[in-house]
């Protein structure tokens, strides 16, 4: 690569600013300005040199509108060759033109389609604005490299877990089916966490990902230690024909896997990709039903007051996720009152107008039910309040908090078309308010009572699941319940079975399948068997985030991880 005026010091990963400005002395002026302020800057004489300079040292690509008049193919190829975690920032300097108004989108289209991280600046601009923009872009680029290293560490953890799980004997596998499913769910949780972190990288709205190596990594190591240690002990005992007390170690591994499942739920809630079963919900009744649990959770020196707004409307929400959010806030309040205090949970009704929504972006005008969780604890400074919803940010010591509690509450509220507001004063306490939209249908939906799952009567079930472990467990359960099961490992195999003329009473399908999702496969199934009932199984599926918009007649959904008893009950409910 032929560079002009390089800074005479080597650039660390993601610190170099590449400049492409072919007219006048623009390139030399910008390079000199950056060099004087301590940046590593390099001028590229052509777009070919510009594309060739995109490597691990490149942190920001600064290009003028005039430089994009040439052949963009080398630049497009260079961007396509970047790894999946890389989204290198472009700063595009556009000239102000008189006459016909150009939209920012029209200017951006001058760049290749795969240049997705673009900051558009209009010239002339101040030195402070340019330096501030470059500094922010370099910070974002550094976070990409940090995320790369963290992803590598997560991959190593998954590899160690897979190696630990190998070699389990068949008799151990038969005795520990619940444990094997828990291990599989832990692997799935790691993959879902990677997707959540990918969303964080692209949004670039949070800066606390670096704390991942603290609380979250510590918790994961504890979970892995519990699971791997329990497996090793069981293998040793079985090798010496000692089968007594195996259940205790199975329980220990299940507890660790359950903690991983809880962390998965928080990550999905934070990323707003969890599967919500939103329906009209009596918020007053839900809050009052948590009274006993809250009293058991709080310390003896903390008093609890629950104050509900009479005749509050029903709110559209997932009751289970709302309970989890309230408990998260209550636990945070408890930890903020080490010397005792008062926890207050209130409900209210708020009518938000255009002016309020304009002052508080992220929520639409309308009627909302408000749940406020307040404490008289230590409170927070303004600086801390600006970070409380950041992922992995926590004020607790390492090992005592993942930093996902408030992020989960925030993600749940946003996904429910609501909002979260926080107010705090040091030394006086904190109040967190969750706004949930009032339901259009004010008739609460009463869940039907379902008896214990009945034995099957030979009904034919098509099981579509690409994960061999999950497919094995569900298939075994169906056989024990008395169903005839046809298994398919992918949509293509399932379609062949559907076209074969066999009559199916039920299709159980994973939502996330290779080549198509479960909902698309269900449409194909209904073409061949119009009355077949469908049960979706999902661990993470963006398209199934809101169940009401995903399910049709005679369709139901159950979320992973689940216990086999829960799945059996759900199958009985669908078929009845």
Of residues 172 and 367, which shows the higher confidence score? 367
**Tens of pLDDT, residues 64-90:** 988 888 889 999 999 999 998 999 999
> Would you say residue 211 has pLDDT above 50?
no
Alpha-carbon Rg for the chain in angstroms: 28
**Tens of pLDDT, residues 11-31:** 478 899 999 998 888 899 999
**DSSP secondary structure code for residue 542 in this structure:** G
Strands 118-123 and 3-4: unpaired
**535 with 558: CB under 8 angstroms?**
yes
Of residues 548 and 532, which shows the higher confidence score? 532
Match 């070699």 to its residue by tokens: 167
**111 with 118: CB under 8 angstroms?**
yes
Q: How confident is the model at residue 450 (pLDDT cuts 50, 70, 90)?
A: very low
> Would you say residue 448 has pLDDT above 60?
no
The predicted structure's pLDDT at residue 476: 85
User: Alpha carbon of 337 to those of 326, 374, 381: distances in Å?
Assistant: 17, 11, 16
**365 with 417: CB under 8 angstroms?**
no
Match 């975690």 to its residue by tokens: 85
> Would you say residue 493 has pLDDT above 80?
yes
**345 with 295: CB under 8 angstroms?**
no
Q: Measured between alpha carbons, how far apart are the two ends of the chain, in Å? A: 70
CA–CA separation, 22 and 20 (whole Å): 6
Candidates 383, 401, 400; CA nearest to 392 is: 401
The predicted structure's pLDDT at residue 161: 85
> Would you say residue 93 has pLDDT above 70?
yes
Q: Taking residues 544-551, what's their average pLDDT?
A: 57
Q: Taking residues 277-282, what's their average pLDDT?
A: 84
> Would you say residue 99 has pLDDT above 80?
no
**200 with 209: CB under 8 angstroms?**
yes
SS3 state of residue 106: helix
CA–CA separation, 415 and 268 (whole Å): 11
Could you write out the DSSP letters of every residue in 447-484? PPP--SPPPP-S-EEEEE-S-HHHHHHHHHHHHHHT-E
The predicted structure's pLDDT at residue 88: 93
The residues, any chain, with a CB within 8 Å of residue 141's CB and separated by 6 or more, are: 14, 59, 60, 88, 89
**197 with 268: CB under 8 angstroms?**
no
Cα 535 off chain centre by: 24
> Would you say residue 36 has pLDDT above 90?
yes
Average pLDDT in the chain: 80
CA–CA separation, 284 and 565 (whole Å): 30
In the chain, what are the helix, strand and coil shares in percent, each to the nearest 5?
45, 20, 35
CA–CA separation, 381 and 442 (whole Å): 40
Q: Which CATH class is domain 3-138?
A: alpha beta
CA–CA separation, 125 and 122 (whole Å): 7
* Ranges of each domain in the chain: 3-138, 167-270, 279-437, 460-575
> Would you say residue 215 has pLDDT above 70?
no
CA–CA separation, 141 and 18 (whole Å): 13
User: Alpha carbon of 290 to those of 94, 277, 306, 321, 345: distances in Å?
Assistant: 57, 19, 10, 13, 10
The predicted structure's pLDDT at residue 468: 85
> Would you say residue 399 has pLDDT above 50?
no
Q: Which CATH architecture has domain 460-575?
A: 3-Layer(aba) Sandwich (3.40)
Q: How confident is the model at residue 359 (pLDDT cuts 50, 70, 90)?
A: confident
Q: How confident is the model at residue 545 (pLDDT cuts 50, 70, 90)?
A: very low
The predicted structure's pLDDT at residue 271: 45
- The CATH T-level fold of domain 279-437 is Heat Shock Protein 90 (3.30.565)
> Would you say residue 406 has pLDDT above 80?
no
**Tens of pLDDT, residues 454-487:** 677 788 999 998 888 788 888 888 888 888 999 9
Match 């629950």 to its residue by tokens: 306
Percent of the chain at pLDDT > 70 equals: 78
The predicted structure's pLDDT at residue 455: 73
pTM above 0.85, yes or no: no
The predicted structure's pLDDT at residue 206: 46
Angle at 99 between CA 93 and CA 100, to 5 degrees: 80
Q: Does the fold of domain 460-575 match that of domain 3-138?
A: yes
Match 């298994």 to its residue by tokens: 487
Of the ranges 174-178, 237-241, 309-313, the best mean pLDDT one? 309-313
Strands 118-123 and 90-95: parallel
The predicted structure's pLDDT at residue 434: 92
The residues, any chain, with a CB within 8 Å of residue 317's CB and separated by 6 or more, are: 278, 279, 281, 283, 416, 418, 436
Measured from the Cβ of residue 527, the count of other Cβ atoms closer than 10 Å reads 10
Strands 3-4 and 40-44: antiparallel
Match 């940046």 to its residue by tokens: 39
Q: Taking residues 283-311, what's their average pLDDT?
A: 88
Q: Which two tokens stand for residue 255?
A: 């507890």
Q: What is the number of alpha carbons within 13 Å of residue 466 lying toward its C-beta? A: 15
Q: Taking residues 283-288, what's their average pLDDT?
A: 90
The predicted structure's pLDDT at residue 304: 92
Own/partner pairs, 348-354, CB within 8 angstroms, 24+ separation:
348/309, 348/312, 348/372, 349/309, 349/312, 349/313, 349/438, 350/435, 352/435
**138 with 16: CB under 8 angstroms?**
no
Q: How confident is the model at residue 398 (pLDDT cuts 50, 70, 90)?
A: very low
């Amino acid at each position: 690569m032929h560079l002009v005026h390089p800074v005479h010091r080597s650039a660390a990963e993601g610190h170099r600013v590449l400049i492409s400005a072919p007219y006048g002395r623009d390139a030399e002026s910008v390079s000199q300005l950056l060099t004087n302020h301590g940046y590593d800057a390099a001028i590229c004489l052509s777009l070919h040199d510009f594309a060739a300079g995109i490597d691990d040292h490149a942190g920001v690509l600064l290009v003028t509108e005039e430089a994009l008049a040439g052949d963009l193919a080398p630049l497009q190829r260079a961007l396509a060759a970047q790894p999946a975690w890389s989204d290198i920032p472009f700063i595009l300097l556009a000239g102000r033109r008189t006459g016909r108004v150009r939209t920012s989108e029209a200017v951006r289209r001058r760049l290749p389609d795969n240049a997705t991280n673009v900051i558009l600046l209009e010239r002339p601009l101040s030195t402070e604005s340019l330096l501030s923009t470059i500094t922010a872009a370099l910070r974002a680029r550094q976070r990409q490299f940090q995320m790369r290293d963290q992803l590598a560490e997560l991959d190593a953890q998954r590899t160690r877990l897979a190696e630990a799980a190998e070699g389990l004997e068949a008799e151990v596998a038969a005795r520990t089916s619940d444990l094997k499913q828990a291990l599989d769910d832990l692997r799935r949780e790691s993959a879902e966490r990677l997707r959540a972190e990918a969303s964080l990288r692209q949004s670039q709205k949070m800066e606390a990902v670096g704390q991942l190596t603290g609380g979250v990594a510590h918790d994961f190591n504890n979970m892995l230690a519990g699971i791997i240690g329990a497996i090793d002990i069981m293998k040793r005992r079985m090798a010496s024909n000692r089968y007594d007390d195996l259940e205790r170690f199975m329980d220990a591994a299940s507890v660790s896997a359950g903690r991983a499942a809880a962390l998965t739920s928080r990550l999905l809630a934070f990323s707003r990709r969890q599967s919500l079963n939103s329906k009209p919900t009596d918020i007053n009744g839900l809050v009052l039903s948590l009274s006993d649990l809250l009293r058991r959770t709080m310390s003896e020196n903390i008093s609890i007051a629950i104050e509900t707004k009479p005749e509050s409307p029903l709110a559209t929400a997932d009751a289970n996720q709302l309970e989890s959010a309230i408990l998260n806030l209550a636990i945070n309040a408890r930890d903020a009152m080490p010397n005792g205090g008062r926890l207050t949970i209130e409900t209210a009704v708020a009518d938000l107008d255009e002016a309020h929504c304009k002052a508080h972006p992220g929520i639409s005008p309308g009627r909302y039910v408000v749940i406020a969780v307040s404490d008289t604890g230590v409170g927070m400074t303004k600086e801390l309040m600006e970070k409380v919803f950041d992922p992995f940010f926590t004020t607790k010591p390492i090992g005592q908090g993942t930093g996902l509690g408030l992020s989960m509450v925030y993600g749940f509220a946003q996904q429910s078309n609501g909002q979260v507001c926080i107010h705090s004063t040091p030394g006086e306490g904190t109040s967190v308010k969750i706004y949930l939209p009032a339901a259009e249908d004010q008739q609460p939906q009463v869940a039907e009572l379902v008896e214990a799952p009945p034995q099957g009567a030979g009904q034919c079930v098509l099981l579509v699941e690409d994960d061999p472990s999950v497919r094995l467990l569900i298939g075994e359960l169906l056989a024990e319940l008395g169903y005839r099961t046809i298994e398919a490992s992918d949509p293509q195999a399932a379609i062949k079975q559907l076209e074969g003329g066999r009559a199916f009473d039920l299709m159980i399908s994973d939502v996330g399948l290779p080549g198509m999702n479960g909902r698309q496969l269900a449409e194909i199934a209904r073409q061949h068997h119009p009355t077949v009932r469908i049960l979706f199984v999902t661990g993470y599926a963006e398209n199934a985030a809101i169940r009401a918009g995903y399910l049709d007649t005679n369709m139901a959904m159950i979320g992973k991880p689940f216990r086999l008893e829960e799945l059996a009950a759900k199958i009985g409910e669908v078929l009845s």
